[in-house]
Amino acid sequence: MIEVLLALCIGGLVLTAASSLLVTISRAWAERPATRDAFDAHVNGVAHFLSAVLEEVTLPTLNQSGDDLIDLQRPVGFSDSEDPLIHFYLREGPPILFWPTGPASRAHCYFYFEDGEGLSFLWFSELQELEKNDEGKMELEDEGALFKTPISPFCDEIFYCYYGEEDATADDIKEWEIMDNLEENIQSGKYRIPDFIKLVFKWEEEELERTITLPIKRISPSGIEEEPL
């Protein structure tokens, strides 16, 4: 009888400990999705926002250089930076591009990433005060007039994705190459526009990646390239 009672006591203690552990795990699991889901929603929202914005990219009314919708430029105040920034033009900016006179239009935007600060847009409108630079291109008179709009403080890294070598031919075998800096042609000193950018978001121990396609050229539904306005 004593042995039976002893066995029941030990079994009760084990069952109590297991139940307590199960309740603790269940509570932690129940509380975890709220913050994780918020982080997931933020990352997905940023990715959808960037994709939607890039769908609206068109050729600029000023400083047109070919038919590329995406190019690489250094905005005013960034002439000494090592790499240029990914640049694009929007006839009508999204609501977050807001300046004193209202939502921005005819906006020149740049992807701008800073360690510890995350991903932002640098931008200006063609309706601001502009002047010609040494290359004959129109740019802001004052670098202090360049706007900065945060996109995500959780963006921890940015990578540039290229398909094949820059001088690859149709018969060459191409492979994807992911670089943490824009690819520079050593001979010409020019930088190559990536096909995709990969954004890495981090929050505590969580890490998520999203790949954003860059629309190099605008193609109409008929298959004919869009003509500039």
Residue 184 belongs to a domain: no
11 inside domain? no
Taking the CB of residue 171, how many other CB atoms lie within 10 A of it? 5
CA atoms 123, 124, 130, 132: torsion sign: positive
Average pLDDT of the residues of the chain: 79
The answer to whether residue 196 is domain-embedded is: no
Residue 44, domain extent: 40-154+205-213
> Residues 174-219: pLDDT tens digits?
788 999 999 987 666 789 999 999 999 999 889 999 999 998 765 5
Residue 59 lies in a domain: yes
pLDDT per position as a tens digit, 137-169 = 888 888 888 999 999 999 999 999 998 777 766
CA 220 to chain CA centroid, Å, is 25
pTM, rounded to two decimals? 0.76
In a domain, 138, yes or no: yes
R_g (Cα) of the chain, nearest Å? 26
The total of structural domains in the chain comes to 1
Give domain status of residue 223, yes or no: no
